[in-house]
Amino acid sequence: MKIGELAAASGVPAKTIRYYEEIGLLPPAEREANGYRSYDRDALQRLRFVQHAQAAGLTLREISQVLAIRSEGRAPCVHVRELLHHHLVQIDARLAELRATRRELQDLARHAETVDPASCPEDVICSILVREG
């Protein structure tokens, strides 16, 4: 199939398909006599794998590692399990940061309700954000 057909079947834009080919996520396409790229069903399967891996939070670099392990004839399950665990740890840390930020914003919003703009000192940019004590 031509790149436009592959793009339609996969939902991945042709420009992205060319990029994936450039960085090695897709093997180079066969070329027809007229120079058009020609892809087989394996390319569609690989693009769908990349989409699923991205949806799981894997980066293109990590996806490339998984594909490299598979191309060596090994199952990448252990590596994928480690990647998923790593991403879960990162997400948990980010969630903790977001909860702390949310608490701080709630505190600031409560404080903002008590501030009278007329009494804001001129030497302070914003007394809502710069609280003493």
The CATH number of residue 76's host domain is: 1.10.1660.10
Q: Could you give the dihedral angle defined by the CA atoms of residues 9, 12, 18 and 24, in that order, rounded to the nearest 10 degrees?
A: -100
Q: What is the mean pLDDT of residues 72-76?
A: 97
Q: Which two tokens stand for residue 128?
A: 């809502």
For residue 12, is it within any domain?
yes
For residue 25, is it within any domain?
yes
Tens of pLDDT, residue by residue over 19-61, are: 999 999 999 999 999 988 999 999 999 999 999 999 999 999 9
Residue 123: band (very low, low, confident or very high) from pLDDT cuts 50, 70, 90: confident
For residue 130, is it within any domain?
no
For residue 128, is it within any domain?
no
Q: Could you give the dihedral angle defined by the CA atoms of residues 72, 73, 79 and 81, in that order, rounded to the nearest 10 degrees?
A: 160
pTM exceeds 0.85, yes or no:
no
Other Cβ atoms less than 10 A from the Cβ of 51: the count is 14
Q: How many domains does the chain contain in total?
A: 1
- Cα separation, 130 vs 126, in Å, equals 6
Q: In this predicted structure, what is the pLDDT of residue 17?
A: 97
- Cα separation, 39 vs 31, in Å, equals 9
Q: In this predicted structure, what is the pLDDT of residue 131?
A: 67
